[in-house]
Amino acid sequence: MKPITLVIICVLVLNSCKNKNEEQLKITPKTEDIAYTSFGKKIIADDAIMATSMAKHYKTMSTGDSINSKMIAKVNSVCQAKGCWMTLNLEDGNEVMVKFKDYGFFVPKDITGKEVIVNGKAYVKEVSVDELKHYAEDADKSTEEIAAITQPKRTYSFEADGVLLKQ
């Protein structure tokens, strides 16, 4: 009689444990699905670093240095002629000029203030006065602002092969 009682108690205990585990498995945290519009090469949002972290990398780089990177940042401005370049906020008072690899794709001209993820090569370069004036024209700057550009500028740059625009 004792062995039968013991077997019944064991079955009941194991059965109750099984039910708890199944209930725990059914309770899964909801994850927020973020929708992105993709431009250029297909990339994924994983492993992108924040703009503030990227700013630290840029500060340690010399003119001509480059690193492969993927970063998340807000758009400061976009080329109003075609969407062929954009500037991103590094959140430390600096910005990065983003061009698109091989002039292969463009972004919408109305994405200022939106969050993007860019994938590609980060580098530091010195931009000529002519190129700075060209960018100022593309950004619809005034004649006075364009005329005030008289010195080359050391800039943080990025050549993107893919861009994700957060919806």
Q: What is the pLDDT averaged over residues 90-101?
A: 93
- DSSP for 14-80, please give it: HHHHHHHHHHHHH-----PPPPEEEEES---STTPEEHHHHHHHHHHPPTT-EEEEEEEEEEEEE-T
* Whole-number pLDDT of residue 110: 95
* Whole-number pLDDT of residue 24: 47
* Whole-number pLDDT of residue 3: 67
- Whether the pLDDT of residue 100 is over 90: the answer is yes
Domains of the chain: 36-166 (2.40.50)
The model's pTM: 0.70
Dihedral angle computed from the Cα positions of residues 61, 84, 72 and 75, in that order, rounded to the nearest 10 degrees: 110
Rounded to the nearest integer, the mean pLDDT of the chain is 86
* pLDDT above 70 as % of the chain: 81
